[in-house]
Every structure is written in C-alpha cells, then in structure tokens.
Structure 1
Amino acid sequence: MYEDGYCPDHVVHRGRAVPLALCERERAGAAGLAALYVLTQAATEEFNDLEAAFEAAGSEIETVARDETAGDFDFVARAYGFPEADVAELIATREW
C-alpha cells in the first residue's frame, strides 16, 4: 500500500500498526482458535476506525487495501499455528 499513491503513507503506517499490535497480543498465546478470532476481530475493528483518516486524506480502504489486510490477518493466524483459521471469520467485524 505504500507504493500506491492513492493510499496516504501516514494512514497506511497507522494501518500497518494494527497487525503488528495483533502479533504482540497473540505472542501471549491465544488459547485456541476461538480466542484468536476474538483478537483478530478486535484488531479488525481498529482497522475499521481508520476509514475516517483515509477519507480525510482523500482516499479510502479500497479493494487492494482490503485484500492486503485480509492477507495480513491470515498470515498472522498461520504464523501463530492456526492454519485452519477462516479468513472471513478472522475479519468478520470488518466494515470494508
């Protein structure tokens, strides 16, 4: 998203912080897939909150950003030992 001129770097940087913070929370160890979904859905809500910042910068959370964000959440789930995680469930609270 940094390479896409449509996405303002300062907002993308805030969006980048969301999955990084998710990793910090997951590092404590989610007690199963249901607990992981709670963490990822809360992180998704944090990403939802960035919509206003994107709009204020003349942008939006568009298709590429949505796909990349979903992929980031899938990557985190797999990296922490949940290859069976359903991406749609990981980001079920999305508003984008």
Structure 2
Amino acid sequence: MDITDRQAADHAFLAALYRSAYYPDAMVDRGREILLRLRARIEAERPADLAALYVLTHAATDEFNALLDDGFDIETVAREEIAGDFWFVATAYGFTDADIEELIATRDW
C-alpha cells in the first residue's frame, strides 16, 4: 500500500530504541512493524473522528502489550519513544487534538 502522507512515510519509527544497545533490534523491528500497520490502517480506513482513531491506536497498543510476553522490556525510554510515535502518527494524519494518553490508553507498560 502506498502511504499518501509523505511525512508519515519518511518517519523513522522507534529511532531512539535502535540507537540503544539495550533494545534488541529484532524486538524493536516488531514494534516498528506495529506502528507501520497502524499507519497503514489509518490510510486504509480513514477514521472520521478521534473515537475511530482511538479504536485503531488501542488495537496497536494491545499489540505492544503482547510484546511484553515475549520479553520486550518497555521501560521509561521505550514508553516515551512508543508514545511519541503514536502521537506522531495521529498528528501526521490531522488528529492534532488527540490525547496522547488516550492514544495508548490500553497499555500495560
């Protein structure tokens, strides 16, 4: 699928985690894939409002929750980086009034 938002297409998701030796690249890759799928779903479904956006971000957050079971340590740095990328995606698609805490409200991390 082609990403129509150029800013979203060029964004380096989870960049700080890739720069740190603390986070295994394979786990960060899985997190990046979650964010790429979120971006693709927003492109495909074009949520009409915040409520519809939050349905998509909560599903993606639940996928991050599942990474915990596989040993991905989502501590302070990772939490901030992941939340920041959720915020980036929301704002890139015009949801500038999205609440960052609501975007990831279903998190277990």
Task: Give, in angstroms, the shift of residue 52 of structure 1.
Answer: 2.1
- Report 1:1-96 matches (<5 A): 1-28=17-44, 29-53=46-70, 55=71, 60-96=73-109
Letter in 2 for 1:21: R
Amino acid at match of 1:60: D
Structure 1 stretches of 4+ moved >2 Å: none
TM-score (norm 1): 0.92
Q: How many residues align?
A: 92
Q: Which runs of 5+ in 2 are unaligned?
A: 1-16
CA RMSD of aligned residues (A): 0.9
Q: Deviations over 1:28-87 (max 9, x none)?
A: 20121100000001100001110122x2xxx51111100000000000000001000000
Partner of 2:13: none
The TM-score, its normalising length taken from structure 2, stands at 0.81
Aligned-pair identity in percent equals: 60
Flag structure 1 segments of 5+ consecutive residues without an equivalent.
none
> Deviation of residue 88 (structure 1)?
0.3
